[in-house]
């Protein structure tokens, strides 16, 4: 089935997220959840968990204005082992901080251009994030299987 039929009306940032998620599972064996809340007031675009429990945060930016409006990204650093920006091929990457990872994506795939530094989470924080990830994924799956349940229940 063509992608346009499966996912109509995706916004530019959602298209980037889809390409990132596809790439991370197929090329790196990372599973992902979108629109994840690590703590009140923060919402990451993509949270990825690797086969060894690695946790990556990926923020998708659809353009310069979207990036310039983001005032919270540094708050995400304490919730992951690595942080990435995901942008399209036309994004002015010189705007992005040097000490972050970079992924170029579109709605169909992505490529990691730079990894950025690794700052390992403390084991207690990793446990909390792993449990939140599992709960988030399970709630999303339940809502997808039972639309009457809906995401508003959580």
148: confidence class by pLDDT, cuts 50, 70, 90: confident
* Span 76-104, average pLDDT: 97
CATH of the domain spanning 3-121, picked from 3.40.1350, 1.10.3470, 3.90.480, 1.10.10: 3.40.1350
CB neighbours of residue 45 within 10 Å:
22
Chain-centre distance for alpha carbon 30:
11
Per-residue pLDDT tens digits for 37-49: 999 999 999 999 9
Per-residue pLDDT tens digits for 23-38: 999 999 999 999 999 9
DSSP string for 82-116: EEEEEE-TTS-GGGS-TTSEEEEE-SS-EEEEE--
Chain-centre distance for alpha carbon 8:
20
Residue 71 has pLDDT above 60, yes or no: yes
* Span 57-78, average pLDDT: 94
What pLDDT was estimated at residue 9? 86
The answer to whether residues 112 and 30 touch, using CB atoms and an 8 Å cutoff, is no
Per-residue pLDDT tens digits for 96-147: 999 999 999 999 999 999 998 999 999 999 999 999 999 999 999 998 898 8
What pLDDT was estimated at residue 1? 36
Q: Are strands 82-87 and 101-105 parallel, antiparallel or unpaired?
A: parallel
What pLDDT was estimated at residue 6? 57
C-alpha triplet 96, 63, 56: angle, nearest 5°: 55
CB neighbours of residue 104 within 10 Å:
21
CA distances from 81 to 67, 89, 119, 123, 145 (A): 21, 25, 5, 11, 31
The answer to whether residues 58 and 36 touch, using CB atoms and an 8 Å cutoff, is no
**Alpha-carbon dihedral angle through residues 13, 2, 28, 95, given to the nearest 10 degrees:** -20
Total-model pTM: 0.89
């Amino acid at each position: 089935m063509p992608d346009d039929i499966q996912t109509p009306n995706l916004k530019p940032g959602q298209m980037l997220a889809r390409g990132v998620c596809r790439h991370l599972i197929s090329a790196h064996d990372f599973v992902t959840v979108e629109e994840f809340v690590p703590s009140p007031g923060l919402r990451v675009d993509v949270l990825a968990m690797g086969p060894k429990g690695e946790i990556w945060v990926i923020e998708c930016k659809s353009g310069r204005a979207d990036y310039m409006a983001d005032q919270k990204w540094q708050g995400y650093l304490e919730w992951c082992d690595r942080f990435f920006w995901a942008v399209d091929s036309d994004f002015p990457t010189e705007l992005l901080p040097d000490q972050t990872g970079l992924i170029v994506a579109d709605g169909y795939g992505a490529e990691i251009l730079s990894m950025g530094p690794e700052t390992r989470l403390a084991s207690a924080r990793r446990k909390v994030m792993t449990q939140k990830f599992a709960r988030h994924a399970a709630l999303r799956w339940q809502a997808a299987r039972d639309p009457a349940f809906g995401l508003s229940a959580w």
